[in-house]
Structure formats: structure tokens, C-alpha cells
Amino acid sequence: MSVLTVIPVLIPLCCAVASLLARRSIRLQRKLAVAGTAALLFAAIGLMTAVLHHGVLCTQSGSWPAPFGITLVADILSSVMVMLTGLMGLAVAIYSLASMDEARERSGYYPLLHMLLAGVNGAFLTGDLFNLYVWFEVMLIASFVLLALGGERAQMEGAIKYVTLNLMASALFLAGVGILYGMAGTLNMADLSLKLRDTGHHGLITCVAMLFLTAFGVKAALFPVFCWLPASYHTPPVAVSAIFAGLLTKVGVYSLLRVFTLIFTQDIPYTHTIILWAAGLTMVTGVLGAFAQNEFRRILSFHSISQIGYMVMGLGLFSPMALAGSVYFLVHHSVVKTNLFLISGVAEKLGGSFELKKLGGLYSSSPVVAGLFFVVAMSLAGMPPLAGFVGKFILARAGLEAGQWVIVGVALAVGMVTLMSMTKIWGEAFWKGSPGTALPQPPSRKVLVTLLVPVAFLAALTVLTGIGAAPLIHVALRAAEQMLDNSQYIAAVLGEGMR
Amino acid sequence: MSDLILSTATRFLMPLFLTFAVFLLLRGHNEPGGGFIAGLVAAAGFALYSLAYSPGRMLQLLRVGPRTLIGWGLLLAAVSGLPALAAGTPFLTALWAKLHIPGLVNLKVGTPLIFDVGVFLTVVGVVLTVVVALQEEED
Amino acid sequence: MENLLALVIGVLYAAGIYMMLRRSLVKLIIGLALLSNAANLLIFTSGGLVPARPPLIARGESALAAPFADPLPQALILTAIVISFGVMAFALVLFYRAAEEAGADDLDRLTSTDT
Amino acid sequence: MTALPLAVLSPFALSALAPWAHARLKHHAGWLLAVLPAILTAFFGSLMPLAASGAPASFRTPWVASAGVMFSFHADGLALLFAVLISGIGTFILIYAGGYLKGHPQQGRMFVFLLLFMGSMLGVVLSDNLITLFVFWELTSLTSYLLIGFNHEQERSRRAALQALVVTGTGGLAMLAGFLLLGTAAGSMELSEIVEKGDQIRSAALYLPVLILVLMGAFTKSAQFPFHHWLPNAMEAPTPVSAYLHSATMVKAGVFLLARLTPALGGTPEWEASLTVFGAATMLAGGALALVKTDLKQLLAYSTVASLGFMVMLLGIGSPYAVKGCLVFLTAHALYKGALFMVAGAVDHETGTRDASALSGLRTGMPFTAFAAVLAGLAMAGLGPWLSFIGKELALEAVLGGGNLWLTAVTVLTSASFVTVAGVTGLRIFSGPPSAAPKKAHEAPLSMWIGPVWLAIKGALLGLMAGKAAAFLAPAVSSVLGRPEQMKLALWHGVNAALGLSALSIALGAAAYIGWDRVRSAGRLGDTILKWGPDRLYDLSLDALSALARGQTRVVQSGYLRYYLLAVILTVMTLAGHALYSRGEPPVMVSTVPVTAYGAAVALMIVASAIAAVLLDTRLGAIAALGGAGGGVALVYVMYGAPDLAMTQFLVETLTIILFVLIIFKLPRFARLSRPWSRVRDGLISIAAGGMMAYLALVALHVDLHPPISSYFAENSVPAGFGRNVVNVILVDFRALDTLGEISVLGLAGLGAYALLKLRLSGRKAV
């Protein structure tokens, strides 16, 4: 059973190595991309089922008992995230088959993609703070390369900002880990949780918590340290943007959720109020940023920021309902934002540009694409009965229960502006008449179908998790309970006697 | 002129570097050293050769492409954790065997050493990949 | 000595940050390198200093005799050094390519993707 | 009762088949699709007796139970009244749309959206759960958006669609918050339970916020002043949409909500004041603006605004008379306004214009349409013995009963305006000599006149058979009043004040009709008001939002990396600094390890190198200084028992410098790029940041809460790890997973650097 916690890291790792060794055969790499991500999804479903039925699962890697070795832990939150990785990985792998250019494929696109997934899953599953740093770096370097792969000028410019700010964040993270080890003498997160409980040394712990908040805040793209995201997300090929949008910032949010429910709970009124403020400001600045844009992918990038605010809002509110809202929102946003990026790629293939000004007429010429976009965009905007509404609703409810009227007002208002900028894309790219520039070569039917398969699949998912929200909310609530009462997690990692 | 000095020196230094690297790799488990350090030393040897002669000749000597080396290194490191799974223990659990040749060798061999070799190969591969690419950039 | 090292850490951070705030790509990467050295030293120091007692077990012994330098921060730093070396190598190439694309080392010329 | 949710969902299901039906049957598909709403009308009608008996049909199943959301429906009198109107009128709208959009390439989509809307609207009125209601409520906004923007290539349509969505959507979000609070105040999310707890809710502290938020939703949806402007603009939609959504059904959703919540929220001074004031203002604004328009649809739209204000005002009064008047008027209005809109559409379709001042004498060319128009016009004017007449009488009595002179005056004036509009739309364009229209008028096809004729006759019949109407409306009135209420309707109430006022309004309206041309020219004022009215305000606020967004983005997302870095640095300094300051303790300044001369020298070397790296003007110098700093750090490692670390640091440092050197000479030389003041600023910030990290290190040095776990490694390295170099055993065994990640990073970095140097797609496009 416990082997299930390793497999989600091992599958992409092995696929990466295999693709690397099969450097010369793109066909093999393509097959491996789909097969590997499908296997990953399958494994993630297995892990999820096991965790839901048997509680928190652990692997003590190398058989070294916790807290001495590195423990891999899968609680519900982790397994939900791993599931997302599988889903997004598969969707993007299929999409890549029809959209990635051969030059990039030859230059190691597929190994990088697998390695990115391995890093992301490692981050989700590790129970060790330094190991989290390592997986973060795996994920980062993979994303650095994916972002820059191809060497176009815009890519270079975006990559410099992305790389520099993320390295800065990593340095902060590392410093935080070091100080924490010096203080508590351990790196295992469950052990840290125990050892930092009731310590009285609030000052230094809170200070370190702030280092982590900033470091993860950069990775999650929180206000005011999100600037790398809008500078870079729209520069690489669409498939890369899509997987970034679906997973990378989520790792930051996941880490915030993890450390601020497990380790830094000594001074909740202080730390979590700051988090709530950051959440509100992130929502507002992100959505305003999007409102000012006129390019498909830039609008989406800025919305990623604003939506991160919602996820973090749940953490700031710190109640079961609120945390469940965060988890639900994480899932919802990955599914939807990845898909919107994928659709932006389809629109580009059909209309020849990402600029709204140069697009148009897709509502008449491509009703299927238009319909898919509309559903997904409305989900992002939080319209019922789609998943985005459910997430917003739960967070609003939790906020009102906590008496935090302002943040709820902000969240709802931001939803409105989101709706407006989604209708902007809709109005310009779809409703508006075609600007009349003929495409050099419209995509073949086969290409289009391959592109639309993952799009339709993810769109169906956002409808299903909206109308049939109950199961996912149930899971999210259970995940929230596990986060708030971390005794299960700690007992699973350290053994029953260590509570 | 300087090329001549360099290439002559390299002819002597290169085997020295490689021997030293193997030495560092093997004793790393007990004394300072280990796969990473050894890899850097070995890579330095090859890099010197590449600088002294040409990337092409260095690659001939190496026989395997540096990028393939990275692949094999990662593969070795990852795979060294797999026998543990087959044995029903957690990933990366060390498995050890006594290697005893009377009079010659008496040491324990285990998957961690394979792992370290993986590290070694990766490091060599990475350094040479970058150095070769940069050198080719010069031209 | 700890106080002195704390000062050294502070200087490394200050120098790194100052360099990163320049407009030159080269200075930026030098700043990054200084910063990672500072972080490593910070970990090393806050793990506790033990002069000249490396965590090497003498032949025939089965355990380290106290006092010994804490091996765990060393392992962490070693990992961190290697990671930052890898990242730095990549960043160097990236910055080189960026400068090549932009035709300058000036970061202020690399602002087209933002707004 | 499972049939209830199935009935609500059936239009959604049918909408999926609509494109197929349209592909097969073209415009005739309207007839086929209309079968479903016809059946639904009968079905909802058949539930009326249950509602009348006080045991309405209902259905409940958990949806998102953990968040209090039930998929529940409750078919009481009020719900059924609306449901019958929605499906009944919907039947004719589908048929009408078949004729109106004949040959339009996107007619199939029209059917889809109309059916989606119908299902959503049914959901709104039948839902029992607040959140379920909200879900359908927002769906009506969305479908309305798609329908208003049906002529999507026109800028005006897109703007109108967006405006409707923004206005009603904003109100909707406020309403959602209001619903959540209402649920808290009532302790239930089920409307059927909430309406029982009126006293509890009215006395709750949350009452006022709930009221304000819910009214936001209702007022925006029902186009109350000053949110009314989206409705006339929505006339950009094809006429079937205007007739259905923007007169007969969707705009009444707000009225419905107010009626529904009357037992829970109504009866307080706040309720009465806000509803009557907003209602009256809306009546005046709508009534006045309707008089100055010549576009048939605009005329009707503004009179619809006034009607909605009328209904809201009546609910504000809240007396039994008022409620009865409201519901009778609502029913009558749905019938005649739907008919008149369809008439306007038919006229537009056949003559090519909707300008009432340019049309006349259409009765010969379009006899059926004319018949419907006259009948419906009489109803709107409150002249014939129709249902609307009864409604007006009741309403006037209610207003008089309230004793408020202002409201009475407003009601009379608005009724007068209705008379004028009815005259123009129902009489003027059909009488007199035929005008020269762009197209010669022919009768519209059957599909386009059957609806108006039927609706107009229905309105007349209900008035003539007042007993039947009373039986139909009584359960609804009971729902609104929250208690069983007897209902008798009669055409003739005797000669009383209400009749007198009614006659007065007709006289005023007739006068305005006769002098319509003069009224319009006097109405330039109205145009001026319109120019600076809420519509303009909407544009201004969008512009302001846009300017704010651009301004903010220019500041935050400046494009300059150094400002981004500054943001990170200042953030961490503020957060960590404040935490240390407000919750920290001063550092212990005692060193436990003595300073040696060697140690001091190494420290000095690092400091000097770091400073040199900053100050040196040459690239090589700076890199050498970096090497010096790195080397110094390695020496620290040597001193304090970390040989592996030191070796690694030396090797890596050397290699880094080699890489630097390989690359650096391809880059331009250092130039002094930044201005002096920014150097000073950055210098100060860097020093502060460095100082803070040093301070942090000092604090951290002496906070040891727990002994480190490394004694385990010290003891187990040899017996279990078979290695004497503990650091190496940790790397390859205890924490091998870290190392696995580490070499993955390394490998990727190498591959990435290679790819970056080899693959240059600049100038090439790739997606």
C-alpha cells in the first residue's frame, strides 16, 4: 500500500529518463508522454482511493524511520494535488502531440515535461521540509528550461524575470529551512509540528514563518511578489503555459497550506491575518491587471494571480469550510485555467493571433470551440452551476461565518470583474466579426480534434464538478479536517506513540 | 605554443584526474569524497582534454555522448532504489552484499554505491554537456 | 566567532542584493551567486559551529564521538551547493542568450513582455 | 414529487436536441419545440389545485448538503402562476422565433438559448432552496447575455448584452451575500421554511443588511431606477427575446423575488419605504421616457420599466389590495406586453422599420396583427373589460387606501402614460392611410401572429371570466401574504374614487396621445436626461475601472526586474522585521566559539571580496572577487569540520568561474547604467536587508529549542549504513531522495543549457 506514495514520483521520473535515453525517437517519446501521464493519472486515482479508505499513507524512504530519513506522506490534500498533476499532465501531453513544434520536441521537451511532473508530485508528497526544497528546485529547473526552450526573445525576457525571482524565493526558503533546523533540530514536518508546538519562542518562529510566507508567496504569485508571472506565462508555447498555469503556482499554494496548517500555527491571529490581507490584495491587483490587458494569454495570466487570492483566502480564514473552499478552488482553478490556456492555443491556430484585436469571428466559424470556451470562461468567472461558482460560494459562506465581510465583498466584486474580462475575450475573439485576415494554413481536422480532446474533457470536468459538486466537496471537507486536526498526519508519519 | 604546453600537460594530467576521480568515488563512503566530487574531478579531466584538443576528440575518447551520460546517471540512481521495492521494502532501501575475494578485496557492496555511481555519471555528463556546448559556441 | 560570521552573512546578503538590483545581467548573476553563498553560510552557522571535528567515524569505531560537527546541515548545504551550481550554470547560459537576443546586457531593455 | 424537477430540467434536455431539430426542420422546428412548453403549461396548471388546497407539490434531494444546498422545488401558488406564464408564453415565443428568424444561419442557437432560458426561469420560480434559486437566477442572466448579444457582430448588441450582464450580475452577487445572511438569520436555506420565520428574521440584527443586499438583486433584475437603463438597451436583441425575457418573464424575476420574500422580509418601515420610493421613481422615469420614444420597442421597453416600478411599489404597500392588484396587473401585463412586443416585431419584420412616427395604416396589410394589437392595446390602456382593468382598479384602491397622495399622483400619471403608449403601439400605426414603409406591408406568417392573437384574447377572456382568474390567482396571493386569502375579482366595483382616478388617467393619456407629436418635441429634456443618466454613468464607471486598472498595472507590473526584486526584498523585510520587532527577543550577543586569528582573516577575506565584487568596475575583477568570497566560505567549512563541503565548494566555485569566463567575454562591458540616487537608495536598502539577515542570524544562533536529530546519523552510519563518512551516508542513503532530486536538477540544468545554446527559434513562430 505504502508504495503508492512513491509511484507518482517514480513514474514521471522514469519516463523522463526513458525519454532522455530515447532522444532520437520522437515517436517513442510522444507515445511515452501519453502513456506515462495516463499511468500517472491511474496511479493517482489509486493513491486517492487508498488514502480515502485507509487514512494518511506513508513511506519511510530508505526504511529509515521518521524523522531521520525522508518520509513521503499522502494525506487527502496531497493525493488530491497528485491527482491534479496526473490530470493536467495527461491533458497537456495529448495537446502537445498536435501543438508542439518538432524543434522543441527534439530538444528535450518531453523529458522536461515528465521531470516537471516528477518535481511537482515530489513536492506534494514529501513530508520533509528540505526535501520539499529539493523538489521545488526540480520543478523550477524543469520550468526554467521549458519556459526558455526555443530561445525566442520574448521567452528570454520572461525567463529572466521568472528565474531571478524564483531563485530569490528559493534562497529565502533555504534560509528559512536552515534557521528552522538550527532551532528545532529536525526537518520532518510532522516532527517540526510537534517540536514547535507550545514553545514560547514566538518571535523567531513567526519571523521564519514570514520568510516562508514570502518564499511561497513568490511561487504562488501573491501580492506584491507576483510580478514574474504576468511577465513570463504568456511567452512559451501554449502547452507549456497551460501546464504552468495548472500546476506551478498551485505548488506554492499547497506549500502555504501545508506549512501554515502543520508547522506555523503558534500565532494564528498574527500570521493568518497577514495571509488574509495578502489574499484580498492579490485578488484585487490580479483582476485589475487582467482588466487592463488585451491579449488572450496575458488576461489569463493576470487572472491566475487573482484566483490564487481565493485559494489563499481560505487559508487566511482558517476554518474547516474555508480550507475546504481552498482545496476545492485549487482543483477547480487547475482544471479551468489549464483549459483556458489550451483554448487560447486553439484560438490562435484558428485566428492566427493571441491579440484580441486581431481575432474575431470564431463564434460563427467554430461553434464548438466557442461553446467550450464559454462554459470554461464562465466557470472561471464563477457563474453557476459551474465549479467556479461552487468554490466562490463556499469561500463566501466561510467568510461570512467568520464575520469577515470585507474579504467576502472583495471576493464577490472580483468575481464580477473576472466575468467582465472573460466577456471581453468572448466579445472580441468570438462574437466580433472576423477581422478578415486569411490564415496562411488553417489547421487540419486531425490536429484540431487532437487539440480539442483534452479541452472538451477538462470542460466536462468543470461542469461535472460544478453540478455534481457534492463528492468533491466532501473530499475537500475531509482534507480540511485533516489539515486542522493534524494528529492523524503526525501519527501516520511518526507512529502512534508520538502524538 | 600554449596549446602545445596544454596538450602535453593534458596527456599527463588526464589519467591522473580520472584515477583520482575513481579513488574519490570509491572511498567516498568512508572518507571525504563521493560521487559528486569525483564527478567534478573526472569532468575536469575531460574538460581539460576538450580544451587542449577539441570537443570532437574529447567526445571520441568519451565514446558516449555527454547527454546520454546524464540519462544513464539518472537511470542508475533511480533504478538503484527499485530492488528495494521488489524486496517489499520502501523505495531506496539499501541492499548490501559482501564482496569477498580473499587477499584482495573485502568490502561491502550495496545499492547506495550504485546510487553514488549514478551521481558521478550525471555530474560528468552535465559538466561536459555544458562545456562542449559553450566551446562549440566559440566557433 | 558566531557573531563575526553573522556579520559576514549580513555583508554577503547586502552585497548580493545590491548586485541584483543593478541593471546589468552579469551583475545580477553575480548577485545571485553571492546570495546563495550567504544562504549556505547562514544554514551552516545556525546549525552550530564545532571547530575541527568533521563527522568522519574513525576506522574501527562504530559511532561518532561527541562533540562533532553536525553532519546533517553539511549534507543539506552540499545538496544546496550542487543545486545552485546547476541552476547557476543554466542561468548563465540563459542570461548570455538573453543578452544576445536583446543585443545588450541592460535589463531595462528587457521589458517588452510585461505590459 | 419527481415530476417537478424533471419539468424544470426538461427544457435543458430539449435544448441539447434543438440544433439537431433545426438542422432537420429549419424554421419549422419552432413548432415542434413548442410542444414541450405547451405540455409544461398544462402540467403546471394541473398542479394549481394542490397549491390551492394548501399542500403544494414539492421535491427535495441533497445537492451539496454539506454547504446547505438542496435541490428542492416547491410549487405553491406564486410559483405556479409564474411557471404557467413562463411556459405558456414560451410556447408562442418558440413558434414566433421560428418565423421571425427564418433563414437566419444561427437560428438553431436561438432555439437553444430560448430553451435554456426557459428552464432557468422555471428553476428560479420553482426553487425552494435559496442557493438553487440563485443558480437558476444567474443562469437567466447568462442566457439573457447570449440572447441580447444574438446579433453579435454589432458593437451595440455586444455592449447591451454586457451591460445587462454586468448590472444584473452585480446585483446577483449582492443577492448571493444577502441569501447567505438570510439563511443564517433564518436558520434554514429553504424558502418554504424561511417564509414561516418572518418575525424571527425581521427582528434579527442581520435584517437590514439582508434587506439591502436582496433588494440590490431584485432591483437590478427588475430594472428599477437607477438600474433601469440596461433594459431599453437590451432591445438590441431580436424581438422574440425582447418579448419573452424583457417584458413577460425575466425582468419580473425581481418582482417575483420580492413577492416571494414578502412574508419573510416585508411589512417593516424599511421595506415599505424602499420599495415604494424606488418603485415610484421607476414608474415616473419609465413612464416619462416612454412618451418621447418613437422606436416601437423602445416605447414598449420604457413602459415595461414603468410597469415593473408599479409592481414593486404595490408590493411595498403590501396590503391585500395591493398584493392582489400587483399579481393581477403582473399577469395582465405579461399577456398584453408579450403580445405587443410580438406585434412590434411582426411590424418591423414586414415593413422594415420600427419607427412609430413613420408608420400608419397597417390594418389593411396586416389584419391579424392589427387585431391582436388593438386588443392588447386596449388591455394596456386599461380600457376594455379585460384583466388589466381589474388590476388597475385594485391597484388604485390600494394606493388610495395607503393614503399617500404622492403615490396616487404617480400612479395616475403612469397609467396615463400607458394609455398613450398603448395608443401609439396598438392604434396609431394601424389606423389612417397606409404609410410609405421601406417594405410593403404584408401579413406576417401564421407563426408570427398566432402568439399575439392568442395572448391578447387570453387577457381579454380572463377579464371577462373574472371568477376563473380569481381562482387562478388566489393561491398566489395567499403565498405572498403568507396566509390563506379569499379572492374575488369583479369588473365592476361601482362608482368610486378609483374609478374616477382611472377615468382621469385615461383622459390624460388620451390627451397626450392626440398631442403625441408635441409631447415628443417637448421631450428633448428626456433625451438630455438620458445622455447624463445612468447609462452614461455606467460607461463612466467602466472607463474609470479601466483607467484604474491600467494605472495600477503600469505601477505594479512595470517591466523592470529590479523593482520586482525590490518588492520581494521589501516584503520580506517588512514581514520578518515586524515579526521580530513585535514578537521577538533581542539576540544573545555571546559567542560560544572563540574568534581565532585565522577565522578573523577568513571573515575579512569574505567581506573584502564581497565589497570588491560590488565596487569593481571590470567584469573579470568582479568575478574574481566572487571567487574570493566563495573560497572564503569554503575555508569556513574547512575550519568547522566540513571537508566534503569545502571540497565541493572549491570545485564548484572553480567551475563556476570557468563558465563565467567562457561566457562573459561575449557580453558587453560593464557600463554605469543606473543613476546615482538609485545607487544610494539600493545601497541603503541592501545594507538594511543585510543587517536584518545578520540580526536574524544572531537571534537564530542561540535559539535551540530541541537537540538536533543528527546523533541518530552518528550512531547508525556504520552499523546500518556501512560508511564512515557520515555526510556521504546521509547523501546516498539516509537522505538519498534529496540527492536523487539534486542530480535531477543538475541533469536538467545541463540539458537546458545545451538546448538553449543549440535551439534558436527567434523569428520563427511556434505555438
Nearest CA in chain C to B130: C89
Instruction: Tell whether the model's pLDDT for residue D6 goes beyond 60.
Output: yes
B32/C56 Cβ within 8 A: yes
Provide long-range contacts, Cβ within 8 A and 24+ apart, for D354-358: D354/D295, D354/D296, D354/D297, D355/D294, D355/D295, D355/D296, D356/D294, D356/D295, D356/D296, D356/D299, D356/D424, D356/D425, D356/D428, D356/D429, D357/D294, D357/D517, D357/D520, D358/D294, D358/D435, D358/D437
**Which residues of chain D have a CB within 8 Å of the CB of A228?**
564
Question: Whole-angstrom Cα distance, residue B49 to residue B42?
Answer: 11
Minimal C-alpha gap between A364 and chain D (Å): 8
C48 touches chain A (CB under 8 A): yes
How many domains are contained in chain A?
1
In terms of CATH architecture, what is C2-51+69-104?
Orthogonal Bundle (1.10)
**Eight-state DSSP code of residue A100:** S
Residue B37 predicted with pLDDT over 80: yes
SS3 state at C22: coil
The residue count for chain C: 115
CB A393 within 8 A of CB A415: no
CA-to-CA dists, residue D414 to D228, D288, D367, angstroms: 16, 8, 30
- Which sequence spans correspond to the domains of chain C? 2-51+69-104
Distance CA D738, CA D744 (A): 10
User: What confidence tens digit (pLDDT) does each residue in D535-594 have?
Assistant: 888 999 999 999 999 999 988 888 888 899 999 999 999 999 998 888 776 777 777 788
Candidates B31, B36, B130; nearest CB to C82: B36
Interface of A with B in 41-80 (CB under 8 A): 59-63, 72
Instruction: Tell me what percent of the residues of chain C surpass a pLDDT of 70.
Output: 98
B45 chain-D contacts, CB cut-off 8 A: none
Backbone angles phi, psi at C59, to 5 degrees: -55, 130
Q: What is the pLDDT of residues B96-125, one digit of tens each?
A: 887 777 766 666 778 888 999 999 999 999
Domain map of chain B by residue range?
2-138
pLDDT computed for residue D764 by the predictor: 44
> CB atoms < 10 A from the CB of A382, how many?
31
The answer to whether D274 touches D331, Cβ cutoff 8 Å, is no
From chain D, the residues in CB contact with C108 under 8 A are 560, 673
Q: Report the SS3 class of residue D324.
A: helix
pLDDT confidence tier of residue D759, bands split at 50, 70 and 90: confident
A300 contact partners, CB below 8 Å, separation of at least 6: A233, A234, A245, A290, A337, A340, A341, A344
- Over 90: is that where the pLDDT of D43 sits? yes
Q: Is the pLDDT of residue B1 over 60?
A: no
Higher per-residue pLDDT: D486 or D523: D486
Candidates A20, A191, A419, A451, partner chain D, best to mutate (most D CBs within 10 A)? A419
C-alpha distance from D740 to closest chain A C-alpha (Å):
9
C-alpha D20/C-alpha D29 separation (Å) is 9
Residue A35, burial from CB neighbour count under 10 angstroms (0-12, 13-18, 19+)? middle
DSSP states along D494-562: -S-HHHHHHHHHHHHHHHHHHTHHHHHHHTHHHHHHHHTSHHHHHHHHHHHHHHHHHHHHHHHT-S-HH
Closest Cβ–Cβ partner in C15, C75, C107 for D614: C15
Query: D441 with D350: CB under 8 angstroms?
Result: yes
Whether residue A152 contacts residue A235, with contact meaning beta carbons closer than 8 Å, is answered with yes
Task: Give the C-alpha separation, D737 to A5, whole Å.
Answer: 13
CA nearest to A347, candidates A430, A471, A405: A430
Is pLDDT at D762 greater than 70 in this prediction?
no
Report whether CATH 1.20.120 matches the domain D555-703: yes
Minimum distance, in Å, between the CA of residue C115 and any CA atom of chain B? 33
Of all residues in chain D, the one with the smallest CA distance to A291 is D549
Query: Over C23-91, what HEC string results?
Result: CEHHHHHHHHHHHHHHHHHHHHHHCCCCCCCCCECCCCCCCCCCCCCCHHHHHHHHHHHHHHHHHHHHH
The candidate with the shortest Cα–Cα distance to D161, out of D237, D224, D105, D221, is D237
* Best D556, D572, D726, D739 residue to mutate vs chain C (most C CBs within 10 Å): D726
Contact A21 B94 (CB under 8 A): no
ipTM of this complex prediction, to 2 decimal places: 0.95
Sign of CA dihedral D428, D433, D434, D437: negative
Bigger pLDDT: D519 vs D297: D297
Q: What are the extents of the domains in chain D?
A: 313-517, 523-554, 555-703, 717-767
Question: Average pLDDT per run of 10 along chain A, which is 499 residues long?
Answer: 89 95 92 97 97 93 90 96 96 96 92 97 96 96 94 89 94 94 92 85 86 96 93 93 94 96 91 96 95 94 95 96 96 96 94 90 92 96 94 94 94 95 94 79 89 96 94 95 93 72
Which pLDDT score, from 0 to 100, does residue D766 have? 39
Mean pLDDT, to the nearest integer, of C40-69?
86
Pick from A179, A230, A470: which is nearest to D557 by CB?
Answer: A230
Of A102-116, D133-147, D412-426, D699-713, the least confident: D699-713
Q: How far is A121 from chain B (nearest CA, A)?
A: 15
| Rounded CA separation D390/D332 (Å) | 9
Which other chains touch chain C, taking contact as 3+ CB pairs less than 8 Å apart? A, B, D
Q: Which of B72-76, B79-83, C17-21 has the lowest mean pLDDT?
A: B79-83
Separation between Cα atoms, residue D18 and residue D27, nearest integer Å: 11
Interchain contact, D728 vs B28, CB within 8 Å: yes
d(CA A242, CA A100): 12
* pLDDT band at residue D326 using 50, 70 and 90 as cut-offs: very high
Of the partner residues C20, C38, C94, the one whose CB lies closest to the CB of residue A159 = C94
Instruction: Please name the residue ranges forming H helices in B28-110.
Output: 35-52, 55-62, 66-79, 82-86
Length of chain B: 139
C&D contacts, CB < 8 Å? 317
* Contact state of A137 with D741 under an 8 Å Cβ cutoff: yes
Positive or negative: CA dihedral A146, A152, A154, A157: positive
Contact B51, B6 (CB under 8 A): yes
Residues 6+ apart with CB under 8 A from D551: none
pLDDT at D48: 93
How far apart CA D280 and CA D277 sit, in angstroms, is 5
How many angstroms separate the CA atoms of D609 and D621, rounded?
10
Cell of A135: 523538489
Verify whether the Cβ–Cβ distance C95 to A160 is below 8 Å.
yes
Q: Do the chains contact at B32 and C86, CB–CB below 8 Å? A: no
Residue D531 has pLDDT above 70, yes or no: no
Q: Which residues lie across from D725 on neighbouring strands?
A: C56
Phi, psi of D576 (to 5 degrees): -70, -40
Q: Which residue of D has its CA nearest to C18?
A: D686
Distance from A70 to chain D by nearest Cα, in Å?
6
Chain C residue numbers touching B126 (CB-CB < 8 A)? 86, 89
Question: Sign of the C-alpha dihedral, residues A458, A460, A463, A467?
Answer: negative
C-alpha cell of residue D58: 414539492
User: For the residues D359-383, what does the mean pLDDT come to?
Assistant: 91
Looking at chain A, which residue has its C-alpha nearest residue B85? Answer: A3
Tens digit of each residue's pLDDT (9 = 90 or more) over D446-496: 999 999 999 999 988 988 888 889 999 999 999 999 888 888 888 777 778
Contact indicator for B115, B52 with CB cutoff of 8 Å: no
Phi first, then psi: give them for residue B99, nearest 5 degrees. Answer: -105, 110
C-alpha cell at A48: 486517492
- The Cα–Cα gap between D589 and C51 comes to 19
pLDDT at residue D526 tops 70: no
Average pLDDT over residues D354-360: 88
Three cell numbers, residue D65: 448538503
Instruction: Give the gap in angstroms from C-alpha A406 to the nearest C-alpha of chain C.
Output: 30
Site from B69, B75, B89, B91 to mutate, A interface, most A CB atoms within 10 angstroms: B91
| Contact between A413 and D751 using a beta-carbon 8 Å cutoff | no
D739, D743, D745, D751: best mutation site toward chain B, by most B Cβ within 10 Å? D743
pLDDT in tens, A232-259: 999 999 999 999 999 999 999 999 999 9
- Per-residue pLDDT at D767 exceeds 50: no
Model confidence at B63: pLDDT above 60: yes
Q: Does B8 contact A at CB distance below 8 Å?
A: no
What is the full DSSP assignment across D426-441? IIITTSSSPP--SS--
CA distance linking residue C76 with residue A177, whole number of Å: 10
Average pLDDT, chain D: 91
Short-list C94, C31, C104, CA closest to A143: C94
Read off the pLDDT of residues D208-239 as tens digits, 9 standing for 90 and up.
Answer: 999 999 999 999 999 998 999 999 999 999 99
B interface mutation test: which of C53, C56, C82, C84 has the most B CBs within 10 A? Answer: C82
Q: Which residues in chain A have their CB less than 8 angstroms from residue D179's CB? A: none
Among candidates B37, B67, B115 on the partner chain, residue whose Cβ is nearest the Cβ of D651: B37
**Residue D718: predicted pLDDT:** 87
